[in-house]
Amino acid sequence: MSGLWYREVFRDQLSLGVRVERTLHASQSEFQRIEILDTAFFGKMLVLDGIFMTSEADEHYYHEMIVHPALCTAERIERVLIIGGGDGGTAREVLRHPGVERCTMVEIDRGVVEACKAHLPEIGREGWADPRLDLRFEDGVQFVKDAPEGSFDVVILDGSDPVGPAEGLFDERFYEGVRRVLGADGVFALQSESPTVYEQVFYDIQATLRRVFGASHPYFGSVTLYGAGMWTWTMTGDPAALKPERVAPIAEGCRYWSPDIHRAAFAQPAEIQRRLQAPASS
């Protein structure tokens, strides 16, 4: 593909188009169609089954926001588990924290990692070579089922939309498994979709987290590539518990996340706040 418009379509009602300069990689793995495109606006970008996943131009918004709120507030961060994250950006940000002793990354599709290492290495960068990274090509749902109880301090779910190989990552039984493998006071963080484009998925995630963990704290930002205006992430820990000794060595190297952005991101839009505070039966 060269000089053409590539479009992601949302619910057959909305689309975002990107002009492609050239296709760097295209393959069909056991799980999904993998494409890496070179574009004028976003630079190189990863597309899975027609869904825009990440790009050079704006990946920092997503990866900094999925990682640092949890890792700058959790009681312990020595043992971190990432489910998904095949582009390497989440692992890169996790491994910027000197307090992390081991980062286990479980990605179901080896093809995504290999394609990103070869054609989009700017995102994973030094994270791929960090000796603390334990990269495994396994089913994340099964991994969580088999992992010992209390074996992780932080779990980060960096999955795509709830279709295809990522569908099981939005299941309540999976969340229950995450709760089991988290140590005492452990924190679960995940991308929780757009409350406008994927409204019901967003609210379902909040309800499920509250049933399983007793709390959910969504936070808000934007990722241009996702074409949704507003994007969300959610964590189960205390957003106010920023630890200065963790923030200081991280914030200086961030392009988007900062303590001020952190505090502001957890302010809920009025309509969403009302709906989340309404009784469950309403």
Please name every residue paired with 246 in a beta bridge, in sequence order, or none if there are none. none
Residue pair 193/205 in contact (Cβ under 8 Å)? The answer is yes
**Pick the catalytic residue: 158, 185, 204, 260?**
158
Closest CA relative to residue 64, chosen from 269, 273, 247: 247
Residue pair 91/85 in contact (Cβ under 8 Å)? The answer is yes
Pairing of strands 4-10, 182-191: unpaired
Residue pair 105/68 in contact (Cβ under 8 Å)? The answer is no
Torsion sign over Cα 74, 76, 81, 86: positive
Longest dimension (CA), the chain: 53
Look-up of token digits 């960096």: 158
Would residue 87 show up in a list of annotated catalytic residues for this protein? Answer: no
Pairing of strands 152-158, 102-106: unpaired
Question: Which residue type is seen at 147?
Answer: A
Which active-site residues does the annotation give?
158
